[in-house]
Amino acid sequence: MSQYSSIAKAKIKSIADLQQMKQAGQKISSLTAYDASFSALLDQAGVDVLLVGDSLGMVVQGHASTLPVTLQDMIYHTQLVSRARQQAFVIADLPFMSSASPMQAAENAALLIQQGGAQMVKLEGARCAAIEFMVQQAIPVCAHLGLLPQSIYQLGKYAVQGKQEDDAAKILADAIKVEQAGAQMLVLECIPAALAQKISEQLSIPVIGIGAGVDCDGQVLVLYDMLDISLGRKPRFSKNYMQQAGSIFEAVQAYVAEVREQKFPAQEHSF
């Protein structure tokens, strides 16, 4: 029997549970997941949210970016993750060009929910019309601001966003707009910690940071980065949790504990 299979089945978390965690000041832990085995392990290690990210294009498929990932890829991997978890909340990314219009976004989000088993979909950028339309169709939406990996060819490189005053003001304004459009969660990627803190304090929805400082309502990392098995260079905002762990399960437990105790991210993981 495995170290996590004997734990009794728990109630699957809902967006209301995550909202209550924000209100209570309890930090939300999240990691990416792409298959059933890791889904079960992360779930039993206490991870609150499993993000089936289009980052699978890089860490699983070996692409140079997230852009080649298809909707069918996302549905397949979301099925694997949702099938094996017992309590964690599952979010799935809408991949590149799967949400060119509000209707397309809603139709593809419906597939991620109906076929994939996702409880929420994540959409990059301040796509307020698409967010509003999906919410009208009862589709839970997580917005994503800051560094947008699907826009890498426009950006030219992966870099911190919002360092200039005008850029910071736009990210803050966009955060308010996506909440008003009906987004029930927000991911902030690679922005200054002070800006992320301001956004987290102003919004009533949970704000999850990745390279956005310790004052967000929760944290997310790419699983393979924090296990030090990703291809290529690891981002500054990540941490190798395998260094002090005897197993992957212990590494994930340490991550969850450090997020809850606000020990991660430390200053060296922030901008």
Active-site residue identified among 107, 189, 201, 250: 189
Which amino acid is present at 167?
D
Number of H helices, E strands in the chain: 11, 8
State how far the Cα of 37 lies from the Cα of 34, in Å rounded to an integer. Answer: 9
Token pair, residue 263, equals: 């020990």
Report how far residue 136's alpha carbon sits from residue 134's, in angstroms, rounded to the nearest whole number: 5
Provide φ and ψ at 39, rounded to 5°: -60, -50
Residues 6+ apart with CB under 8 A from 158: 147, 149, 152, 190, 235
Relative to beta strand 89-93, strand 28-32 is: unpaired
Q: Are 146 and 188 in contact (CB under 8 A)?
A: yes
Residue 258 annotated in active site: no
Distance CA(60)–CA(54), nearest Å, equals 10
Cα–Cα distance list, 261 to 26, 67, 215, 255, 258 (Å):
9, 35, 12, 10, 5
SS3 253: helix
Between CA 70 and CA 200 the distance in angstroms is 31
- Residues with a known catalytic role: 189
